Amino acid sequence: MIQSLDYFASLVQQDDSIPLFEAALSIAQDADPYLDLAAVQAEVDTFAARLQKRLAPDASSIQKLRMLNHYFYQELGFAGNVNNYYDPDNSYLHRVIHTRRGIPISLAVIYMEMAQQVGLNVKGISFPGHFLMKLSVQSGDVVLDPFNGISLSREDLEERLEPFTRNQAYPATLPIGAYLHAAHPRDILVRMLRNLKMLFTEQQRWQHLLGVQQRLVILLPGEVTERRDRGLAYAHLDAPREALDDLEAYIDERPHASDTEDLRRRLPGLRDALRRLQ
């Protein structure tokens, strides 16, 4: 039986052919190792097939989008989880489908999968602070909030961006269009995993964090900071050999990084722990 990490790695191997929904769904195998991925996919396929039957053969993109919006938010009842926004379950697609509650990025991934199946090329947008979606039509881009399906005007977008430019987290000189580029599936998966990373770090759920870090290392093999963070997760889990491998790799590649000296001071304790295990 193929292991979940091997399966995930096979899905994200080629940049030009990452199946976003399937890869995002497989993240939930960390929470539910025996999750039936095919059954969840079939459920979403059924949603899309029901909608497809309602669409006229000559329906325009805007007509399809309106019907999808009504179907997704009104009939199926998907919505943002305003009562428990920081629940990790909001990032696991099978649980979002079950509860009909999620965060913007998880709702968007489900919405985009259904859109694709009815012939709509809806794309994700890694907008600061809140993931968005867009559909490009002849008259321009329709930008949607996945939390509720509301269409956002230029003024809405500028208002949402303003806090991030005010605190200089993002440059104020860039036009709004610079923040509305379609996000690559790899970047969407990274954003989903980093949401979970933040939650599990705050909650000190180290085993769950390790699962997230394993996937981030697969997605970003050239990003040594993710390997460092995997090493720290291993250290919390009393796995000194694996922690040393990752932390020493980081120190070798970033010898002058601001955290390198702190990490070096941790190595003797990890080596002692490793000797005690031998």
Single out the residue in 124, 153, 179 at which a domain terminates: 179
pLDDT (mean) for 161-166 = 87
Give the chain's mean pLDDT. 95
DSSP string, 149-197: --B--HHHHHHHHHHHHHTTSS-TTS-GGGG-PBPPHHHHHHHHHHHHH
Q: What is the tally of structural domains in the chain?
A: 2
CATH number for position 253: 1.25.40.10
Of the residues 147, 179, 211, which one is the last residue of a structural domain? 179
Same domain, 19 and 144: yes
Among 4, 9, 1, CA closest to 218: 9
Q: What is the pLDDT of residue 166?
A: 80
Task: Give the range of the structural domain holding residue 216, as residue numbers without chain letter.
Answer: 185-277
pLDDT (tens digit per residue) in 124-139: 999 999 999 999 998 8
Residue 46 confidence (pLDDT) above 90: yes
For residue 64, CA distances in Å to 51, 71, 91, 108 come to 9, 10, 27, 16
According to DSSP, the β-strands at 123-125 and 132-137 are antiparallel
* pTM for this predicted structure: 0.95
Alpha helices in the chain (DSSP H): 4-11, 20-26, 37-54, 61-69, 93-99, 104-117, 154-166, 185-202, 206-219, 224-236, 240-253, 260-277
Residues 38 and 131 occupy one common structural domain:
yes
